[in-house]
Chain A
Amino acid sequence: MKSLQGEKEILLQESGILTAKLQRRSFLQYAGAGVAGVALIAAGCKKDKSTPGLDTGVDLGSGDPGILNYAYALEQLEGAFYDAVVKSPYTGIPANELALLTDIRDHELAHREFFKKALGTGAIVSLTVDFSSINFADRASVLNTAKAFEDLGVSAYNGAGKLLKTAKYLEVAGKIVSVEARHAALIRDLISNGTFADSTAVDANGLDGARTPIQVLTIAKTYIKTAINASNLPTS
Protein backbone atom coordinates (compact mmCIF):
# COMPACT_ATOMS: atom_id res chain seq x y z
CA MET A 1 0.00 0.00 0.00
CA LYS A 2 2.73 2.37 0.98
CA SER A 3 4.80 1.67 -2.10
CA LEU A 4 1.76 2.06 -4.28
CA GLN A 5 1.03 5.42 -2.73
CA GLY A 6 4.62 6.44 -3.34
CA GLU A 7 4.36 5.27 -6.91
CA LYS A 8 1.28 7.40 -7.37
CA GLU A 9 2.96 10.49 -5.99
CA ILE A 10 5.99 10.05 -8.20
CA LEU A 11 3.80 9.59 -11.24
CA LEU A 12 1.78 12.67 -10.42
CA GLN A 13 4.89 14.74 -9.87
CA GLU A 14 6.28 13.68 -13.20
CA SER A 15 3.04 14.37 -14.98
CA GLY A 16 3.17 17.18 -17.47
CA ILE A 17 0.20 18.79 -19.08
CA LEU A 18 0.47 16.59 -22.15
CA THR A 19 1.35 13.33 -20.48
CA ALA A 20 -0.74 13.41 -17.33
CA LYS A 21 -3.67 11.44 -18.66
CA LEU A 22 -1.57 8.63 -20.08
CA GLN A 23 0.55 8.19 -16.98
CA ARG A 24 -2.46 8.25 -14.75
CA ARG A 25 -4.12 5.57 -16.81
CA SER A 26 -1.00 3.44 -16.68
CA PHE A 27 -0.94 3.84 -12.96
CA LEU A 28 -4.53 2.80 -12.57
CA GLN A 29 -3.95 -0.32 -14.63
CA TYR A 30 -0.97 -1.12 -12.46
CA ALA A 31 -2.80 -0.36 -9.25
CA GLY A 32 -5.83 -2.32 -10.33
CA ALA A 33 -3.71 -5.46 -10.68
CA GLY A 34 -3.48 -5.91 -6.95
CA VAL A 35 -5.80 -5.97 -4.00
CA ALA A 36 -4.25 -2.77 -2.68
CA GLY A 37 -5.26 -1.06 -5.88
CA VAL A 38 -8.89 -1.63 -5.08
CA ALA A 39 -8.49 0.21 -1.81
CA LEU A 40 -6.63 3.03 -3.51
CA ILE A 41 -9.35 3.44 -6.11
CA ALA A 42 -11.98 3.37 -3.40
CA ALA A 43 -9.99 6.04 -1.58
CA GLY A 44 -10.59 8.49 -4.35
CA CYS A 45 -8.66 7.71 -7.48
CA LYS A 46 -11.84 6.75 -9.29
CA LYS A 47 -11.88 8.38 -12.71
CA ASP A 48 -15.06 7.19 -14.31
CA LYS A 49 -17.32 9.26 -12.07
CA SER A 50 -20.30 10.58 -13.94
CA THR A 51 -20.45 14.36 -14.23
CA PRO A 52 -23.68 15.05 -16.12
CA GLY A 53 -23.48 18.19 -18.20
CA LEU A 54 -19.80 18.62 -17.45
CA ASP A 55 -18.31 15.73 -19.37
CA THR A 56 -18.09 17.15 -22.86
CA GLY A 57 -16.71 20.32 -24.42
CA VAL A 58 -13.63 22.35 -23.47
CA ASP A 59 -11.46 19.97 -21.46
CA LEU A 60 -10.10 21.64 -18.30
CA GLY A 61 -7.56 18.85 -18.08
CA SER A 62 -6.22 16.89 -15.15
CA GLY A 63 -3.90 17.36 -12.18
CA ASP A 64 -2.71 20.80 -11.13
CA PRO A 65 -3.09 22.30 -14.64
CA GLY A 66 -6.70 21.16 -14.59
CA ILE A 67 -7.36 22.94 -11.30
CA LEU A 68 -5.61 26.07 -12.58
CA ASN A 69 -7.78 25.96 -15.72
CA TYR A 70 -10.81 25.55 -13.48
CA ALA A 71 -9.80 28.71 -11.60
CA TYR A 72 -9.09 30.41 -14.94
CA ALA A 73 -12.60 29.54 -16.13
CA LEU A 74 -14.14 31.09 -13.01
CA GLU A 75 -12.00 34.20 -13.29
CA GLN A 76 -13.04 34.52 -16.94
CA LEU A 77 -16.65 34.47 -15.81
CA GLU A 78 -16.13 37.05 -13.06
CA GLY A 79 -13.96 39.26 -15.25
CA ALA A 80 -16.52 39.31 -18.05
CA PHE A 81 -19.31 40.08 -15.58
CA TYR A 82 -17.60 43.06 -13.91
CA ASP A 83 -16.34 44.30 -17.25
CA ALA A 84 -19.96 44.48 -18.42
CA VAL A 85 -21.00 46.15 -15.15
CA VAL A 86 -18.34 48.85 -15.41
CA LYS A 87 -18.90 49.45 -19.13
CA SER A 88 -22.63 49.90 -18.59
CA PRO A 89 -23.22 50.77 -14.93
CA TYR A 90 -26.67 50.35 -13.42
CA THR A 91 -29.07 53.26 -13.20
CA GLY A 92 -28.18 55.82 -10.54
CA ILE A 93 -24.92 54.17 -9.47
CA PRO A 94 -23.12 56.32 -6.87
CA ALA A 95 -19.54 57.30 -7.74
CA ASN A 96 -18.08 55.40 -4.78
CA GLU A 97 -19.85 52.18 -5.82
CA LEU A 98 -18.63 52.51 -9.38
CA ALA A 99 -15.10 53.02 -8.07
CA LEU A 100 -15.30 49.89 -5.91
CA LEU A 101 -16.79 47.79 -8.71
CA THR A 102 -14.08 49.08 -11.05
CA ASP A 103 -11.47 47.93 -8.53
CA ILE A 104 -13.07 44.49 -8.40
CA ARG A 105 -13.17 44.39 -12.21
CA ASP A 106 -9.46 45.14 -12.30
CA HIS A 107 -8.71 42.44 -9.70
CA GLU A 108 -10.70 39.80 -11.59
CA LEU A 109 -9.10 40.70 -14.90
CA ALA A 110 -5.67 40.56 -13.23
CA HIS A 111 -6.52 37.09 -11.91
CA ARG A 112 -7.73 36.04 -15.34
CA GLU A 113 -4.67 37.29 -17.20
CA PHE A 114 -2.39 35.85 -14.51
CA PHE A 115 -3.85 32.36 -14.93
CA LYS A 116 -3.74 32.62 -18.71
CA LYS A 117 -0.07 33.55 -18.57
CA ALA A 118 0.77 30.92 -15.94
CA LEU A 119 -0.94 28.16 -17.93
CA GLY A 120 0.72 29.18 -21.19
CA THR A 121 -0.08 26.77 -24.00
CA GLY A 122 -2.03 24.63 -21.54
CA ALA A 123 -4.65 27.33 -21.00
CA ILE A 124 -8.21 26.64 -22.10
CA VAL A 125 -9.79 28.87 -24.75
CA SER A 126 -11.75 32.01 -23.92
CA LEU A 127 -15.22 31.00 -22.78
CA THR A 128 -18.41 32.52 -24.10
CA VAL A 129 -20.58 33.82 -21.29
CA ASP A 130 -24.36 34.02 -21.06
CA PHE A 131 -25.54 36.96 -18.97
CA SER A 132 -29.06 37.02 -20.42
CA SER A 133 -30.53 36.43 -16.96
CA ILE A 134 -28.91 39.59 -15.57
CA ASN A 135 -30.46 43.05 -15.86
CA PHE A 136 -27.37 45.26 -15.96
CA ALA A 137 -29.51 48.39 -15.61
CA ASP A 138 -30.81 47.22 -12.24
CA ARG A 139 -28.69 47.55 -9.09
CA ALA A 140 -30.32 44.63 -7.29
CA SER A 141 -29.88 42.30 -10.26
CA VAL A 142 -26.21 43.22 -10.64
CA LEU A 143 -25.30 43.11 -6.96
CA ASN A 144 -27.16 39.87 -6.27
CA THR A 145 -25.35 38.25 -9.19
CA ALA A 146 -22.05 39.65 -7.89
CA LYS A 147 -22.81 38.24 -4.44
CA ALA A 148 -23.53 34.82 -5.92
CA PHE A 149 -20.34 34.90 -7.98
CA GLU A 150 -18.13 36.00 -5.08
CA ASP A 151 -19.49 33.55 -2.53
CA LEU A 152 -19.23 30.85 -5.19
CA GLY A 153 -15.65 31.86 -5.94
CA VAL A 154 -14.67 31.73 -2.28
CA SER A 155 -16.18 28.28 -1.85
CA ALA A 156 -14.54 27.15 -5.09
CA TYR A 157 -11.03 28.08 -3.98
CA ASN A 158 -11.66 26.76 -0.47
CA GLY A 159 -12.72 23.41 -1.92
CA ALA A 160 -10.02 23.20 -4.59
CA GLY A 161 -6.99 24.01 -2.42
CA LYS A 162 -6.63 20.45 -1.22
CA LEU A 163 -6.71 19.14 -4.81
CA LEU A 164 -3.48 20.93 -5.70
CA LYS A 165 -0.25 18.94 -5.45
CA THR A 166 2.18 21.82 -5.87
CA ALA A 167 2.77 24.14 -2.90
CA LYS A 168 3.41 27.25 -4.97
CA TYR A 169 0.06 26.81 -6.74
CA LEU A 170 -1.71 26.39 -3.41
CA GLU A 171 -0.04 29.55 -2.15
CA VAL A 172 -1.14 31.61 -5.12
CA ALA A 173 -4.68 30.22 -4.85
CA GLY A 174 -4.60 31.29 -1.21
CA LYS A 175 -3.47 34.76 -2.23
CA ILE A 176 -6.49 35.06 -4.51
CA VAL A 177 -9.20 33.50 -2.34
CA SER A 178 -8.90 36.05 0.45
CA VAL A 179 -9.29 38.83 -2.10
CA GLU A 180 -12.43 37.10 -3.39
CA ALA A 181 -13.65 36.96 0.22
CA ARG A 182 -13.00 40.69 0.57
CA HIS A 183 -15.07 41.22 -2.58
CA ALA A 184 -17.83 38.99 -1.22
CA ALA A 185 -17.95 40.92 2.05
CA LEU A 186 -18.13 44.27 0.30
CA ILE A 187 -20.82 43.22 -2.19
CA ARG A 188 -22.88 41.77 0.64
CA ASP A 189 -22.52 45.00 2.62
CA LEU A 190 -23.56 47.03 -0.44
CA ILE A 191 -26.74 44.96 -0.64
CA SER A 192 -27.37 45.07 3.11
CA ASN A 193 -24.85 46.52 5.54
CA GLY A 194 -23.72 43.96 8.11
CA THR A 195 -24.24 40.85 5.99
CA PHE A 196 -20.53 40.50 5.16
CA ALA A 197 -20.22 37.27 7.12
CA ASP A 198 -23.75 36.42 8.24
CA SER A 199 -25.11 32.92 8.74
CA THR A 200 -25.77 32.53 5.01
CA ALA A 201 -22.01 32.81 4.42
CA VAL A 202 -20.34 31.52 7.60
CA ASP A 203 -21.52 28.51 9.62
CA ALA A 204 -21.82 28.07 13.39
CA ASN A 205 -18.23 26.84 13.59
CA GLY A 206 -16.97 30.10 12.11
CA LEU A 207 -16.21 28.44 8.77
CA ASP A 208 -16.74 29.79 5.25
CA GLY A 209 -18.11 27.60 2.46
CA ALA A 210 -16.26 24.98 0.42
CA ARG A 211 -17.48 23.33 -2.77
CA THR A 212 -16.08 20.73 -5.15
CA PRO A 213 -15.33 21.77 -8.74
CA ILE A 214 -18.36 19.81 -9.98
CA GLN A 215 -20.64 21.57 -7.49
CA VAL A 216 -19.23 24.95 -8.49
CA LEU A 217 -19.36 24.38 -12.24
CA THR A 218 -22.90 23.01 -12.04
CA ILE A 219 -23.93 26.36 -10.55
CA ALA A 220 -21.69 28.46 -12.82
CA LYS A 221 -22.72 26.86 -16.11
CA THR A 222 -25.95 28.86 -16.09
CA TYR A 223 -23.73 31.78 -17.05
CA ILE A 224 -21.33 29.98 -19.39
CA LYS A 225 -22.44 29.17 -22.94
CA THR A 226 -19.32 27.14 -23.76
CA ALA A 227 -19.63 23.48 -22.81
CA ILE A 228 -17.01 22.44 -20.27
CA ASN A 229 -15.55 19.01 -19.62
CA ALA A 230 -14.52 18.77 -15.98
CA SER A 231 -14.46 14.99 -15.84
CA ASN A 232 -10.67 14.76 -15.79
CA LEU A 233 -10.19 17.05 -12.78
CA PRO A 234 -8.79 15.46 -9.63
CA THR A 235 -11.39 14.70 -6.99
CA SER A 236 -9.05 14.02 -4.09
Chain B
Amino acid sequence: MNIINILEEIEKVDGEVYERLNPRRAAMKSFYGFGSKVALAALPMALGSMFKKAYGQTTTSVIDVLNFALTLEYIEYNFYQTGINTAGLIPAGTPAVAAIANIRDHELAHVNLLKGAITASGGTPVSYTAASFDFTAKGNFPTVFSDYPTFLAVAQVFEDTGVRAYKGQAGNLMSSPSVLQTALQIHSVEARHAAHIRQMRKAPAGGGLTNLKPWITGANDSGVAAAAASYAGEDNVTQLDINIPGLGFSVNASTEAFDEPLTMPQVLSIASLFIK
Protein backbone atom coordinates (compact mmCIF):
# COMPACT_ATOMS: atom_id res chain seq x y z
CA MET B 1 0.00 0.00 0.00
CA ASN B 2 2.98 2.30 -0.09
CA ILE B 3 4.07 3.75 -3.39
CA ILE B 4 0.71 3.83 -5.10
CA ASN B 5 -0.91 5.43 -2.08
CA ILE B 6 1.73 8.10 -2.05
CA LEU B 7 1.20 9.05 -5.65
CA GLU B 8 -2.56 8.78 -5.32
CA GLU B 9 -2.56 11.11 -2.34
CA ILE B 10 -0.13 13.52 -3.93
CA GLU B 11 -2.38 13.66 -6.96
CA LYS B 12 -5.17 14.91 -4.71
CA VAL B 13 -3.16 17.97 -3.69
CA ASP B 14 -1.19 18.29 -6.90
CA GLY B 15 -3.02 17.19 -10.02
CA GLU B 16 0.13 17.59 -12.05
CA VAL B 17 2.20 15.14 -10.06
CA TYR B 18 2.57 12.75 -12.98
CA GLU B 19 3.67 15.62 -15.18
CA ARG B 20 6.26 16.53 -12.57
CA LEU B 21 7.42 12.93 -12.39
CA ASN B 22 7.64 12.74 -16.15
CA PRO B 23 10.49 10.55 -17.42
CA ARG B 24 11.67 13.31 -19.74
CA ARG B 25 12.67 15.35 -16.73
CA ALA B 26 16.18 14.98 -15.47
CA ALA B 27 14.90 14.22 -12.00
CA MET B 28 13.51 10.93 -13.20
CA LYS B 29 16.59 9.69 -14.99
CA SER B 30 18.16 7.92 -12.04
CA PHE B 31 14.79 6.73 -10.82
CA TYR B 32 14.00 5.01 -14.07
CA GLY B 33 17.24 3.13 -13.96
CA PHE B 34 16.48 1.08 -10.90
CA GLY B 35 15.59 -2.08 -12.76
CA SER B 36 18.45 -4.13 -11.38
CA LYS B 37 18.39 -5.75 -7.99
CA VAL B 38 21.26 -3.63 -6.75
CA ALA B 39 19.45 -0.45 -7.69
CA LEU B 40 16.22 -1.72 -6.13
CA ALA B 41 17.93 -1.70 -2.76
CA ALA B 42 18.37 2.03 -3.27
CA LEU B 43 14.67 2.56 -3.98
CA PRO B 44 14.00 4.65 -0.85
CA MET B 45 16.77 7.05 -1.84
CA ALA B 46 15.57 7.15 -5.41
CA LEU B 47 12.01 7.88 -4.34
CA GLY B 48 13.15 10.57 -1.96
CA SER B 49 15.34 12.31 -4.47
CA MET B 50 12.60 12.00 -7.06
CA PHE B 51 10.14 13.87 -4.89
CA LYS B 52 12.71 16.38 -3.79
CA LYS B 53 13.74 17.19 -7.33
CA ALA B 54 10.20 17.12 -8.67
CA TYR B 55 9.05 19.63 -6.09
CA GLY B 56 12.20 21.55 -5.22
CA GLN B 57 11.64 22.26 -1.57
CA THR B 58 9.61 19.35 -0.24
CA THR B 59 6.24 20.59 0.83
CA THR B 60 4.49 19.70 4.05
CA SER B 61 1.68 18.00 2.16
CA VAL B 62 4.04 15.60 0.40
CA ILE B 63 5.61 14.54 3.68
CA ASP B 64 2.15 14.15 5.15
CA VAL B 65 1.20 11.85 2.32
CA LEU B 66 4.35 9.77 2.64
CA ASN B 67 3.74 9.46 6.35
CA PHE B 68 0.15 8.47 5.78
CA ALA B 69 1.28 5.60 3.55
CA LEU B 70 3.87 4.63 6.15
CA THR B 71 1.10 4.53 8.74
CA LEU B 72 -0.74 1.94 6.69
CA GLU B 73 2.36 -0.21 6.41
CA TYR B 74 2.90 0.13 10.13
CA ILE B 75 -0.59 -1.22 10.75
CA GLU B 76 0.23 -4.46 9.00
CA TYR B 77 3.73 -4.82 10.43
CA ASN B 78 2.61 -4.15 14.00
CA PHE B 79 -0.29 -6.51 13.67
CA TYR B 80 2.00 -9.44 12.94
CA GLN B 81 4.67 -8.29 15.39
CA THR B 82 2.13 -8.02 18.19
CA GLY B 83 0.83 -11.47 17.33
CA ILE B 84 4.35 -12.88 17.49
CA ASN B 85 5.00 -11.12 20.81
CA THR B 86 1.78 -12.43 22.39
CA ALA B 87 2.74 -15.57 24.28
CA GLY B 88 0.57 -18.55 23.50
CA LEU B 89 -1.23 -16.99 20.53
CA ILE B 90 0.61 -18.62 17.62
CA PRO B 91 0.94 -22.34 18.43
CA ALA B 92 4.56 -22.90 19.44
CA GLY B 93 6.48 -25.60 17.63
CA THR B 94 4.28 -25.43 14.53
CA PRO B 95 5.07 -24.14 11.02
CA ALA B 96 2.78 -21.19 11.81
CA VAL B 97 5.58 -19.51 13.75
CA ALA B 98 7.90 -19.30 10.73
CA ALA B 99 5.07 -18.42 8.34
CA ILE B 100 3.91 -15.43 10.38
CA ALA B 101 7.52 -14.30 10.88
CA ASN B 102 8.10 -14.50 7.12
CA ILE B 103 5.06 -12.34 6.41
CA ARG B 104 6.06 -9.94 9.19
CA ASP B 105 9.49 -9.58 7.59
CA HIS B 106 7.97 -8.64 4.24
CA GLU B 107 5.78 -5.97 5.84
CA LEU B 108 8.80 -4.61 7.69
CA ALA B 109 10.70 -4.42 4.38
CA HIS B 110 7.89 -2.27 3.01
CA VAL B 111 7.93 -0.07 6.14
CA ASN B 112 11.66 0.47 5.74
CA LEU B 113 11.22 1.30 2.06
CA LEU B 114 8.87 4.15 2.97
CA LYS B 115 10.86 5.38 5.95
CA GLY B 116 13.90 5.67 3.72
CA ALA B 117 11.91 7.54 1.09
CA ILE B 118 10.62 10.07 3.63
CA THR B 119 14.03 10.67 5.16
CA ALA B 120 15.60 11.06 1.73
CA SER B 121 12.91 13.62 0.91
CA GLY B 122 14.00 15.70 3.87
CA GLY B 123 11.04 14.72 6.02
CA THR B 124 10.66 13.00 9.35
CA PRO B 125 9.03 9.56 9.26
CA VAL B 126 6.21 9.00 11.69
CA SER B 127 7.02 6.45 14.37
CA TYR B 128 4.16 4.27 15.45
CA THR B 129 4.03 1.47 17.95
CA ALA B 130 1.46 -1.26 18.23
CA ALA B 131 -0.28 0.86 20.88
CA SER B 132 -1.20 3.34 18.17
CA PHE B 133 -3.53 0.88 16.55
CA ASP B 134 -6.81 -0.76 17.42
CA PHE B 135 -6.60 -4.24 15.99
CA THR B 136 -10.02 -5.08 17.37
CA ALA B 137 -11.29 -2.75 14.61
CA LYS B 138 -13.50 -0.76 16.96
CA GLY B 139 -14.58 -3.88 18.79
CA ASN B 140 -15.31 -6.06 15.78
CA PHE B 141 -12.53 -8.51 16.70
CA PRO B 142 -12.26 -8.33 20.54
CA THR B 143 -10.25 -11.55 20.75
CA VAL B 144 -7.82 -10.77 17.93
CA PHE B 145 -4.76 -11.45 20.13
CA SER B 146 -6.22 -14.07 22.45
CA ASP B 147 -7.94 -16.34 19.94
CA TYR B 148 -5.69 -17.76 17.21
CA PRO B 149 -8.45 -18.37 14.62
CA THR B 150 -9.56 -14.73 15.03
CA PHE B 151 -5.97 -13.55 14.60
CA LEU B 152 -5.73 -15.51 11.34
CA ALA B 153 -9.11 -14.22 10.18
CA VAL B 154 -7.98 -10.62 10.60
CA ALA B 155 -4.67 -11.47 8.89
CA GLN B 156 -6.56 -12.89 5.93
CA VAL B 157 -8.67 -9.77 5.63
CA PHE B 158 -5.55 -7.57 5.77
CA GLU B 159 -3.86 -9.56 3.01
CA ASP B 160 -6.84 -9.89 0.71
CA THR B 161 -7.55 -6.17 1.19
CA GLY B 162 -3.91 -5.34 0.47
CA VAL B 163 -4.06 -7.24 -2.81
CA ARG B 164 -7.19 -5.37 -3.79
CA ALA B 165 -5.78 -1.99 -2.75
CA TYR B 166 -2.69 -2.33 -4.95
CA LYS B 167 -4.76 -3.63 -7.84
CA GLY B 168 -7.04 -0.63 -7.68
CA GLN B 169 -4.18 1.81 -8.12
CA ALA B 170 -2.21 0.12 -10.92
CA GLY B 171 -3.84 2.24 -13.61
CA ASN B 172 -2.68 5.41 -11.88
CA LEU B 173 0.94 4.32 -12.16
CA MET B 174 1.05 3.75 -15.91
CA SER B 175 3.01 6.95 -16.46
CA SER B 176 5.74 5.65 -14.14
CA PRO B 177 6.66 2.19 -15.46
CA SER B 178 9.26 1.34 -12.83
CA VAL B 179 7.00 2.36 -9.95
CA LEU B 180 4.19 0.33 -11.52
CA GLN B 181 6.40 -2.73 -11.75
CA THR B 182 7.53 -2.38 -8.13
CA ALA B 183 3.91 -2.03 -7.03
CA LEU B 184 3.00 -5.17 -8.97
CA GLN B 185 5.91 -7.00 -7.35
CA ILE B 186 4.53 -6.11 -3.91
CA HIS B 187 0.97 -6.88 -5.03
CA SER B 188 1.68 -10.52 -5.88
CA VAL B 189 3.54 -11.00 -2.58
CA GLU B 190 0.40 -9.92 -0.73
CA ALA B 191 -1.50 -12.54 -2.72
CA ARG B 192 0.99 -15.23 -1.71
CA HIS B 193 0.48 -14.21 1.92
CA ALA B 194 -3.30 -14.32 1.52
CA ALA B 195 -3.19 -17.81 0.01
CA HIS B 196 -1.07 -19.16 2.85
CA ILE B 197 -3.09 -17.53 5.64
CA ARG B 198 -6.20 -19.08 4.08
CA GLN B 199 -4.53 -22.50 4.19
CA MET B 200 -3.57 -21.90 7.83
CA ARG B 201 -7.21 -21.24 8.69
CA LYS B 202 -8.12 -24.68 7.31
CA ALA B 203 -6.04 -26.48 9.94
CA PRO B 204 -7.85 -27.46 13.15
CA ALA B 205 -5.81 -24.98 15.22
CA GLY B 206 -6.54 -22.23 12.71
CA GLY B 207 -10.29 -22.64 12.88
CA GLY B 208 -10.85 -25.78 10.84
CA LEU B 209 -12.46 -23.94 7.92
CA THR B 210 -12.00 -26.88 5.56
CA ASN B 211 -14.08 -25.29 2.79
CA LEU B 212 -11.90 -22.19 2.62
CA LYS B 213 -9.70 -21.98 -0.48
CA PRO B 214 -6.42 -20.15 -1.22
CA TRP B 215 -8.42 -18.09 -3.72
CA ILE B 216 -11.48 -15.90 -3.10
CA THR B 217 -14.79 -17.59 -3.88
CA GLY B 218 -17.77 -15.27 -4.31
CA ALA B 219 -18.36 -12.08 -2.36
CA ASN B 220 -17.23 -12.75 1.21
CA ASP B 221 -15.87 -16.22 1.88
CA SER B 222 -13.96 -15.16 5.01
CA GLY B 223 -16.65 -16.32 7.42
CA VAL B 224 -16.37 -12.91 9.07
CA ALA B 225 -19.45 -10.78 8.54
CA ALA B 226 -17.59 -7.64 9.66
CA ALA B 227 -15.18 -8.11 6.73
CA ALA B 228 -17.89 -7.69 4.09
CA ALA B 229 -16.48 -4.35 2.93
CA SER B 230 -13.11 -5.96 2.22
CA TYR B 231 -14.75 -8.41 -0.19
CA ALA B 232 -17.35 -6.17 -1.80
CA GLY B 233 -17.51 -6.84 -5.54
CA GLU B 234 -15.43 -10.03 -5.47
CA ASP B 235 -18.42 -11.90 -6.90
CA ASN B 236 -18.02 -10.11 -10.24
CA VAL B 237 -18.05 -12.55 -13.17
CA THR B 238 -17.66 -10.11 -16.08
CA GLN B 239 -14.22 -9.14 -17.42
CA LEU B 240 -13.80 -6.66 -20.30
CA ASP B 241 -17.53 -7.10 -20.97
CA ILE B 242 -17.02 -10.85 -21.35
CA ASN B 243 -19.23 -13.03 -19.18
CA ILE B 244 -16.92 -15.74 -17.84
CA PRO B 245 -19.62 -18.30 -16.93
CA GLY B 246 -20.84 -17.81 -20.49
CA LEU B 247 -17.53 -19.32 -21.66
CA GLY B 248 -18.46 -22.57 -19.92
CA PHE B 249 -17.21 -22.14 -16.37
CA SER B 250 -18.99 -22.37 -13.02
CA VAL B 251 -19.79 -19.13 -11.21
CA ASN B 252 -17.42 -20.11 -8.40
CA ALA B 253 -14.52 -20.74 -10.78
CA SER B 254 -15.34 -17.51 -12.61
CA THR B 255 -15.04 -15.41 -9.44
CA GLU B 256 -11.97 -17.29 -8.20
CA ALA B 257 -10.08 -16.86 -11.48
CA PHE B 258 -10.07 -13.06 -11.21
CA ASP B 259 -9.30 -10.98 -8.11
CA GLU B 260 -11.09 -7.64 -8.06
CA PRO B 261 -9.77 -4.15 -7.17
CA LEU B 262 -10.86 -1.81 -4.39
CA THR B 263 -10.97 1.97 -4.80
CA MET B 264 -8.95 4.31 -2.61
CA PRO B 265 -11.98 5.50 -0.60
CA GLN B 266 -12.96 1.88 0.04
CA VAL B 267 -9.47 1.08 1.32
CA LEU B 268 -9.32 4.20 3.49
CA SER B 269 -12.66 3.35 5.02
CA ILE B 270 -11.45 -0.14 5.94
CA ALA B 271 -8.07 1.08 7.23
CA SER B 272 -9.65 3.73 9.43
CA LEU B 273 -11.18 0.99 11.58
CA PHE B 274 -7.70 -0.02 12.71
CA ILE B 275 -6.28 3.41 13.60
CA LYS B 276 -6.92 4.88 17.07
Tell me which residues across on chain A come within 8 A of B256, comparing CB atoms.
Answer: 103, 106-107, 179
Chain A residues touching B, range: 35 or more
Q: Which of B37, B110, B181, B194 contacts A182 (CB 8 A)?
A: B194
User: Which of chain A's residues 23-44 have a Cβ closer than 8 Å to chain B?
Assistant: none
Tell me which residues across on chain A come within 8 A of B193, comparing CB atoms.
Answer: 185, 196-197
Instruction: Give the B-binding residues of A (Cβ under 8 A).
Output: 1-2, 5, 100, 103, 106-107, 109-111, 113-114, 117-118, 154, 157-159, 161-162, 164-165, 167-172, 174-186, 189, 193-194, 196-198, 201-210, 236
Tell me which residues across on chain A come within 8 A of B182, comparing CB atoms.
Answer: 207
Cβ contact within 8 Å between B239 and A172:
yes
The verdict on B102 contacting chain A, using a C-beta distance below 8 Å, is: yes
Q: List 13 A-B contacts (CB under 8 A).
A: A103-B215, A110-B244, A114-B257, A158-B188, A164-B174, A174-B170, A181-B188, A183-B215, A186-B214, A196-B193, A206-B109, A206-B189, A208-B189
The verdict on B254 contacting chain A, using a C-beta distance below 8 Å, is: yes
| Nearest-neighbor residue (CB-CB) of B187 within chain A | A178
Q: How far is the CB of B56 from chain A (nearest CB, A)?
A: 21
Cβ contact within 8 Å between B177 and A117:
no
Given contacts A189-B195, A208-B188, 13 further A-B contacts (CB under 8 A): A103-B215, A110-B257, A114-B257, A172-B240, A174-B166, A174-B259, A175-B167, A175-B260, A177-B184, A177-B187, A178-B191, A179-B257, A206-B107
Instruction: Fill in one digit per residue for B196-233: 1 if any A CB lies within 8 Å of its CB, else 0.
Output: 10010000000000000111000000000000000000
Whether A189 touches B257, Cβ cut-off 8 Å, given contacts A175-B239, A182-B214, is no
Instruction: Fill in one digit per residue for B97-121: 1 if any A CB lies within 8 Å of its CB, else 0.
Output: 0110011011101100100000000
Count of B residues near A, CB < 8 Å?
Answer: 60
Residue in A106, A179, A189, A198 with the greatest tally of chain B CB atoms within 10 Å: A179
User: Which of chain B's residues 15-73 have a Cβ closer than 8 Å to chain A?
Assistant: 24, 37, 40-41, 43
Tell me which residues across on chain A come within 8 A of B254, comparing CB atoms.
Answer: 110
A171 to B166, CA, bound (A): 11
Tell me which residues across on chain A come within 8 A of B189, comparing CB atoms.
Answer: 181, 197, 202, 206-208
Cβ contact within 8 Å between B109 and A204:
yes
Whether A196 touches B185, Cβ cut-off 8 Å, given contacts A107-B215, A107-B256, is no
